[in-house]
Amino acid sequence: MPFVKVARLADLPPDSLTEVFVGGEPYAICNLGGEVHALSGICPHEGGPLGQGQIHDGCVVCPYHLWEFDCRTGACDLDPSSGVKTYPVKVEGDDILIQVP
């Protein structure tokens, strides 16, 4: 699977989050202290848009009901069986690329 450019690093400061779409599917892109991570953009709890949430203590916080997902692993703090999928990320110059199906 090829990597797809989804954002610019200049537009995603450290400890921020953005929502991107690839093939109509949402993804949450996190800049966690300078490390960029990609997760599924849909919360498994109520379908909230994770990329529209916030980062808190290394986790993406869903804007709907405040469920938290680790930016690095996708693990959920409230329900270990409800984690979200993560995706490989590359940063090339100022380009953020993710590898998605």
DSSP class of 91: E
The predicted pLDDT at position 99 comes to: 97
Supply 83's token pair.
């984690």
- Answer whether residue 101 shows pLDDT above 90: no
64: phi then psi, degrees, rounded to nearest 5: -80, -55
Domain parsing of the chain, residue ranges: 3-99
Q: List pLDDT tens digits, range 40-98.
A: 999 999 999 999 999 999 999 999 999 999 999 999 988 888 999 999 999 999 999 99
From the options 2.102.10.10, 2.30.31.70, 3.30.70.20, 3.30.565.10, give the CATH code of 3-99.
Answer: 2.102.10.10
Place of tokens 């994770």: 50
The predicted pLDDT at position 1 comes to: 82
Q: Give the distance between the most distant pair of CA atoms in the chain.
A: 37
Supply 59's token pair.
């986790």
- Between CA 36 and CA 43, with CA 37 as vertex, the angle to 5 degrees is 140
The predicted pLDDT at position 77 comes to: 82
Confidence band (pLDDT; 50, 70, 90) for 18? Answer: very high
β-pair partners for 3: 99
The helix (H) or strand (E) run that includes residue 19 is: strand 16-22
